[in-house]
Amino acid sequence: MDTNSDSPYDVLFERSLALIVREYGFDNIELSAYHQILDVSNTILRRLLLNVKNLTEVQSRTEPCPADIARSLQMMNVKSSLLHQTCNQPIKHRLRSPDRQTETHPTKLFRVTHTTNDNSSRKHRPIYIPDFLPEFPDPHTFISSETYADLRKDYPRVRQLLADQRRALQRSLVKFKLQTNEKISVINNQGANINDYFLIKNTTSPLPYLAALLPQDQMDSESTDAMEDEATVDVSARTKSLSATEDGEI
């Protein structure tokens, strides 16, 4: 019974009408007849709403109130008693709530590429805007442009960026620590003036095993909970994979 249409309003309208038709006992309806009813009801509704709009305007209001609807129904010769009757009838069928619209987002990008379509960076103002108003800002500040980068083609670049970033982070972290902490020279410089090679001075800990056995270098990868769940599976898999090429004789 459903016809394909784009706007959710249309879909919902068609469905509710079909439901009303079924409520009145029809199991089947010819498509042309259904479209006829659809048109008729559409017209009636439009008429009704136009009337309501007119009434509100007459009373110099912007929002309709229930009385407006009642009055316009009266104007269209619809008897309110009939409406009451319809309302009192038990409802057999109910309308499903409409499907959630899934919006198709373009793939999220990790970088912005410059927009390609315009040559001039600024849009000129239309003539109806008075002169004293300021110029438009740069288009990238208010126009969203969808860009795509082929990740797969760029795999080496991505890896390089990532590695460079990581290395830069390491270096700057070490540099920072070297500046803020005590340091010792690695080179036995015997008076020569060499200041390039330093180590961060060790801090002794009363329980050195804690830092060593609970390393922090794995923390960013995954939550530890998930890892613990898999731990038992891992272990057996690991043992299995190690004895996989078992071919020595027993």
Partner 1 sequence: MELEELRQVTRSFVLSHQTLCITGVSFDKRCLVGYTELTLHPLVKNFNVIKLNARQLTIYAVTINGERNVEFSYDDPNMQTFLEDDPRRDLSSVLKRQQRFSEYVDPDEGNGELTIFIPSSLQQHADSATTNHETNMNNTVYKVTIDFSLEQPETGIHFFVPDDDAKVSRLSRHLFTTGHDARLWFPCVDSYCEPSTWTIDVTVEESLTVVASGELVECTTQNEMKTYRFYLSTPAPAPFIGLAIGAFESVVDSNTQEITNYCLPGLLTLLTNTTSFVHEPLEYFEELLNASCQYPNYKQVFVTEPFAECTPFASMAIFNVNLLYPSTVIEATWHARTQMAFALANQFFGCFITMRSWRDWWLLKGLALYLTNIYTRRAFGNNEYRYNLKRDMMEVIRYEREENPIRLDFAPVKSESDLSNVNNRRGTMMSSHYLEVAAKKAHLVVRMIDDFIGREIMMQILNKLMCLATTACLKDASLSSRSRLHISSKSFSRVVSTLTTKDIQALLTQWVYESGCPRLIGSFTFSRKRNVVELEIKQDTTVKGSKKFLGSLVIRVQELEGSFSQTILLEDSITKYELTCHSKVRRNKKKKIPLLSGDEVDMDLSQMDVECPILWIRIDPDLKIIRELQFDQADFNWQYELRYERDILSQFEALEALKRYPSQNTRETLGTVLDSSTCFYRVRIECAHVLTHIANSMANTWTGTLATLSFFRRVFMSTNSTSSSASTTASSTNPSSSTAPVTHIVRINDFSNSQMYMIQKMIPQAIALQRNKDRVCPPEVINFLFELIHYNENSKNRFSDAFYRSSLIDALGNTLTNVGLTSTTTNVDLLLNHTLDNNTKRIFDEILLQLNFDKIIPSYGFCVTCSCLQILHKLYVISGIPIDINVFYEYAMYGIFDRVRLTACEILVEQTETRMNPDVLDYILTLIETDPDYNLRRKILQHLCRHPPFRQNQTCPLNNSSTVHRLWSLMTNFSYDNQIRNDLTELYQVMYGLNRPACLPASNDANESSLRDELDDVSDTVVDIDPERLSHFRLARYTDDTKAAATKLASTSSK
Asked if 156 interacts with partner 1 (CB under 8 A), we say yes
User: Measured between alpha carbons, how far is 156 from 249 in angstroms, rounded to an integer?
Assistant: 45
The number of beta carbons lying within 10 Å of the beta carbon of residue 52 is 19
Binding partner 1 by CB under 8 A: which of 4, 127, 177, 179?
177
Shortest CB 149 distance to partner 1, Å: 13
Shortest CB 227 distance to partner 1, Å: 6
Binding partner 1 by CB under 8 A: which of 102, 141, 179, 193?
193
User: Measured between alpha carbons, how far is 70 from 79 in angstroms, rounded to an integer?
Assistant: 10
User: Measured between alpha carbons, how far is 4 from 2 in angstroms, rounded to an integer?
Assistant: 6
Side-chain half-sphere exposure of 183, counting CA atoms within 13 A: 17
Binding partner 1 by CB under 8 A: which of 89, 153, 179, 180?
153
Shortest CB 188 distance to partner 1, Å: 4
H or E segment to which residue 239 belongs: helix 224-242
User: Measured between alpha carbons, how far is 117 from 147 in angstroms, rounded to an integer?
Assistant: 12
- Of 14, 4, 31, 30, the C-alpha closest to 96 is 14
Measure the CA angle with vertex 173, ends 167 and 177; round to 5°: 150
Binding partner 1 by CB under 8 A: which of 61, 107, 167, 168?
167
The span of 7-15, 76-84, 97-105, 156-164 binding partner 1 (CB under 8 A) equals: 156-164
Binding partner 1 by CB under 8 A: which of 33, 65, 109, 235?
235
Name which of 95 and 237 has its Cβ closer to partner 1: 237
Shortest CB 154 distance to partner 1, Å: 9
Name which of 35 and 159 has its Cβ closer to partner 1: 159
Name which of 89 and 216 has its Cβ closer to partner 1: 216
